[in-house]
Amino acid sequence: MTGADSPKYLQLYQLLKGQVQQGIFQTGEYLPSEHQLCQEHGLTRTTVRHALDELIRDGFIVKEQGKGSRVRERGKSLNLLNVKGFSEAAGPDVQTHYLTPIRPGSWPESFRLPVGQGPCLQFERIRSVAGQPVMLEKNWFPDLLSPQPIASDFMEDSFFKTLSGRYLIEVTGSKQSLQAVTADARLMKLLMVPAGTPLIHIHVVFYTSQPDFNLYGELYCHTDPYPIGNTYLRP
Amino acid sequence: MTGADSPKYLQLYQLLKGQVQQGIFQTGEYLPSEHQLCQEHGLTRTTVRHALDELIRDGFIVKEQGKGSRVRERGKSLNLLNVKGFSEAAGPDVQTHYLTPIRPGSWPESFRLPVGQGPCLQFERIRSVAGQPVMLEKNWFPDLLSPQPIASDFMEDSFFKTLSGRYLIEVTGSKQSLQAVTADARLMKLLMVPAGTPLIHIHVVFYTSQPDFNLYGELYCHTDPYPIGNTYLRP
DNA sequence: TAGTGGTCTAGACCACCCT
DNA sequence: GGGTGGTCTAGACCACTAA
């Protein structure tokens, strides 16, 4: 994708990003200093700093003046309104039940956002916290990954972490549409809520660093036990 | 705040930012070229580009290779889940009805997010689209602005635009909490919805470029006519 | 005191856009 | 061809952090 003649700062950026994702640099660990990176790769500080700036923008590292550049906990910068919010908010007490495996399907109709084309995979799952179901989640994505992912391979049941760690695809943005609805019969049964319970219905598309690879999701959230949290802080 | 001995790139950043906010550079217009800015201010391109990078990060400008740096339509980069979403989605057909003027009040109790301290102003308003009320909105903010703002001075009924344009305060982040609820008697009346209508209840805090100046909001949204839109794209 | 990141200079060559 | 932004070099001095 990014050949040998891509800008040097991008090459260094991708090298370091890969090393962070593969755990060669662990969370909280310091990267080599800027001067050291200059010598190791035969670059000037301007170029090295440009690469590090990109890593900061993507939320991979933070800088500490007088100390160094430290690997940051992942996923903070794009914790928009997505599944991670639940996992992080509720800690380790999250269970995931797959209603369907990852399987060939077709793009959703009457989606409130523009939808993809071509072959498509889909899966549906329920997220529970402390045994209580809080979200029904249906997802679609293009059948372009190889090897084809299967749910049991998911890292921490997170599609995003799997994409990032195994396929080096980063989520770069998202568009969402939210509506309040009342649970129908199927939702009452799956989420174990009484009739008339208000839910938040979300349509979402996630854009990634790979063009033409967008993720689509349709969510129903029972927010009484756990409100949906959403934080955005400028990096 | 940022004195004469602040970094040169920050001084240039603030100068250009002010000129954009004051309309000296209009939306869609090109800024002076980087070389021109170098000469005008006696700086090198590194420094000028650093300033422009900050303006890009804040969503004030976009660069176009081979052409120039162009003033961007405001507010895109922080269009999280806020009032602007409604205004922008619905176009010019938005009305705002103030239930109360901006007046001294007290910080909300039982807010789902940490709340402010000290003297406080508040106001409550209803947003309608095409004559149909879609949102009840209550806001709190510290009584630190001078001159004290009044609702009739609001630029396009937007608190954010007023803060940015008149007080040079930028929103830098936000934290939100969403729940689905059912309309109670007051909401049924104010939003003109039947009993049992599901609404989205939002608690939100906006962080700004001025420390200790946070905005707090409590919203009830009727999403049947207009879903809540939310876009995030990495600058 | 030594090492780190933060800022800045004075150049250079390139790809892109428009005329 | 001339102007624009994109990349890069080879230095320099400073403020901050820790031993």
**For residues A122 and A105, is the Cβ–Cβ distance under 8 A?**
yes
- In chain A, % of residues over pLDDT 70: 88
User: Residue A12's pLDDT band (boundaries 50, 70, 90)?
Assistant: very high
Q: What contacts B65, CB < 8 A, 6 or more positions away?
A: none
Q: If you search the block for the tokens 């972490």, which residue do you land on?
A: A161
Query: Is B175's CB within 8 Å of A229's CB?
Result: yes
Number of A–B residue contacts, CB under 8 Å:
111
CA A52, A53, A57, A61 dihedral sign is positive
Note the pLDDT tens digit of each residue in B192-227. 999 999 999 999 888 887 777 888 999 999 999 888
**For residues A207 and A171, is the Cβ–Cβ distance under 8 A?**
yes
Note the pLDDT tens digit of each residue in B89-148. 556 677 889 999 999 999 988 787 677 678 999 999 999 988 899 999 999 999 988 788
Please name which of A196, A145, A153, A201 lies closest in space to residue A177, comparing C-alpha atoms: A201
CA of B221: which chain A residue's CA is closest? Answer: A180
Q: How far is the C-alpha of A192 from the C-alpha of A138, rounded, in Å?
A: 18
Q: How far is the C-alpha of B231 from the C-alpha of B131, rounded, in Å?
A: 26
Query: Is A178's CB within 8 Å of B223's CB?
Result: yes
Phi and psi based region of residue B64 (left: phi greater than 0; alpha: psi -120 to 50; beta: remaining):
beta
pTM of the model: 0.82
- Identify the residues numbered 35 to 94 in chain B whose C-beta atom is closer than 7 Å to any atom of strand C: 42-47, 50, 64-67
Which tops the pLDDT comparison, A212 or B116? A212
Which nucleotide shows the minimum CA-to-C1' distance to residue B64? Answer: D5
Which tops the pLDDT comparison, A38 or A169? A38
Which tops the pLDDT comparison, A166 or A85? A166
- A116-131: average pLDDT: 89
Query: Is B179's CB within 8 Å of A223's CB?
Result: yes
- A216-226: average pLDDT: 92
Note the pLDDT tens digit of each residue in B77-89. 444 454 344 555 5
Measured to protein CB atoms, the chain C nucleotides within 7 Å are: 3-12, 15-18
**For residues A14 and A2, is the Cβ–Cβ distance under 8 A?**
yes
By three-state DSSP, how is residue B169 classified? coil
Q: How far is the C-alpha of B173 from the C-alpha of B190, rounded, in Å?
A: 30
Distances (CA, A) of B126 to A225, B86, B215: 28, 12, 18
B45 touches strand D (CB under 7 A): yes
Distances (CA, A) of A177 to A180, A204, A211, B217: 10, 6, 22, 20
The shortest CB-CB distance from B227 to any of A172, A178, A221 is to A178
Q: How far is A176 from chain B (nearest CA, A)?
A: 5
Q: Is the pLDDT of residue A208 over 90?
A: no
A7 touches strand D (CB under 7 A): yes
- B66-77: average pLDDT: 78
Please name which of A146, A141, A140 lies closest in space to residue A124, comparing C-alpha atoms: A140
By three-state DSSP, how is residue A162 classified? helix
DSSP string, B149-165: P-GGG-BTTBHHHHHHH
